[in-house]
Structure 1
Amino acid sequence: MTGRLAAVNLGGVTEAEWAGDPSGRSGIDKRPVAGPVQIRFDGVAGDFIGERAVHGGPDQAVYAYAEEDAAWWATELGRTIGPGAFGENLTTYAVDVTGAVIGERWTVGSALLEVTKPRIPCTTFAGFWGVPDLIKRFTVRAAPGAYLRVLREGEVSAGDPVEVVARPAHGVTVGEMFRATTLEPELLPRLLDVPELPEQIQKKIRRRLGAARP
């Protein structure tokens, strides 16, 4: 299956009271850029990350959100929502991000990316949008976008194809994992069958389930 990149977005430094970082700085305000951007193992070149305790790192090197899901929010809130408004690096078109399987691999430009987990909304996100109940609404909507790790560094540009080149057989999707870890804990046992999950998440799930490490 092939979609495309609608935009590549980079964040500068934003100083605000709602920023989650102790320094009061955030990189959530991302804007589209022209031309190729380097995707590295540790993140996107030129993209500022404020609260590194919970953002960035190899398992969250890149964040993707679907243009179609952004359009739903624009209608829901009655406001214009442009690329990067969710803090995403990659705005996709015709890519089923919520339905992407954990461990699914995408070629984007010359980079190879692997879906790792959904994004969990935070107070910084709600403060940036100025919508106090956004976390609750975002959780109920359950279209969280996907974090990706970088398996092969490369360059990406708006308009590049996004091609799904591999998909694990376990079938656990970004949307299912999000629901399992938020409003539907009865789905948590399904996540034990996902070897591609980051190790710290696997440990957390086992603790929640009281399961012994295999």
Structure 2
Amino acid sequence: MSQIVSSTNVAVPRTDPGGADRISGIDKQPAPFIEVSAPGPDYGDGSGVADDTVGDDAHHGGAQKAVYAFSREELDFWEHDLHRGLPDGTFGENLTTTGIDLERLLVNQRIRVGTAELEVSVVRHPCRTFAAWLGERGWVRRFSDRGRCGTYLRVTVPGRITPGDELTLVDAPAHDIDILTAFRAAQGDKAAARRVVDAGCLPEMYHRRLVALLR
């Protein structure tokens, strides 16, 4: 099966569905293409997707969370589980993918897509805004228990990504830490955290959080 982008999605700014006094970018709608580039290093430095919106700039945006990808296969799982339609972009993703197991990608794996190059960076934590947007009881726990969080991506080479573009993996990292393991670590699994810390594969801020957990 081909590993492709099935949809490229950009935010329609709206009032935060969780009740915060800010605009939210959770409502992602399909666009003909997206242009990606590396934002500044920190939260609050904006999205890596041109014309996208980051509402919660205390926890989102910046180089490590430049682009968010989620798989169509997981949307299909939740459609069946929730008994409702979930169009591409519903989970706030900039890239909806098919044919690639995003959570089995290794942290720091490079991906060529369109004229851009991306790199697997950090996990997505479900939050109040996401839960309010879905409107499902206990959503944060349900999504976390599933463990299939998609992945945030850095932009290492700017470019254009269009639906139908193939995702090509290049230069696999020299460790075995995938996004599933990184998510378990971030959720407090100390055995997973030890593996991630020993691999030294996360950005410094995220690495320090796991070191503190292990103390």
TM-score relative to the length of structure 1: 0.92
Distance 2:191 2:180 in 1: 14
**2:79 corresponds to which residue?**
74
Q: 1:198, CA displacement in angstroms?
A: 1.3
Distance in 2 (CA, whole Å) between partners of 1:7 and 1:187 is 32
Contact between 1:102 and 1:194, CA under 8 Å: does it hold in 2? no
Structure 2 gap ranges (5+) = 40-47
Please tell me the root mean square deviation across aligned C-alpha atoms, in Å.
1.4
Q: 1:53 is matched with which residue?
A: 58
Aligned length: 207
The residue number in structure 1 matching 2:11 is: 11
Return the letter of the residue paired with 1:5: V
Compute the displacement of 1:61 (Å): 0.2
Q: What one-letter code is carried by the residue in structure 2 that aligns with 1:9?
A: N
What's the offset of the Cα at 1:46? Answer: 1.0
1:142-179: CA deviations, max 9, x gaps? 00000011111011001100111122121111011111
After superposition, the Cα gap between the structure-2 partners of 1:104 and 1:180, relative to the gap in structure 1 and judged at 3 Å, is same
**Aligned: 1:63 with 2:68:** yes
Q: Which stretch of structure 1 is more off in the superposition, 126-135 or 186-195?
A: 186-195
Identity %: 35
Q: Which has the higher strand share?
A: 1
**1:55-100 deviation line (CA, Å, top 9, x unaligned):** 1100000000011011000000000001111100000110110101
| TM-score, normalised with respect to structure 2 | 0.92
Q: Which runs of 4+ in 1 moved over 4 A?
A: none
Is 1:159 paired with 2:164? yes
In 2, distance between residues paired with 1:2 and 1:163? 10
| Offset of residue 53 of structure 1 | 1.0
> How many Å separate the matches in 2 of 1:88 and 1:40?
16
| Matched residue type, 1:8 | T
Give the structure 2 partner of residue 173 of structure 1: 178
**Following TM superposition, by how much is the alpha carbon of 1:30 offset from its aligned partner in structure 2, in angstroms?**
0.2
Quote the offset at 1:16 in angstroms.
Answer: 3.7
Alignment of 1:7-156 (within 5 A): 7-20=7-20, 23-34=21-32, 36-42=33-39, 43-156=48-161
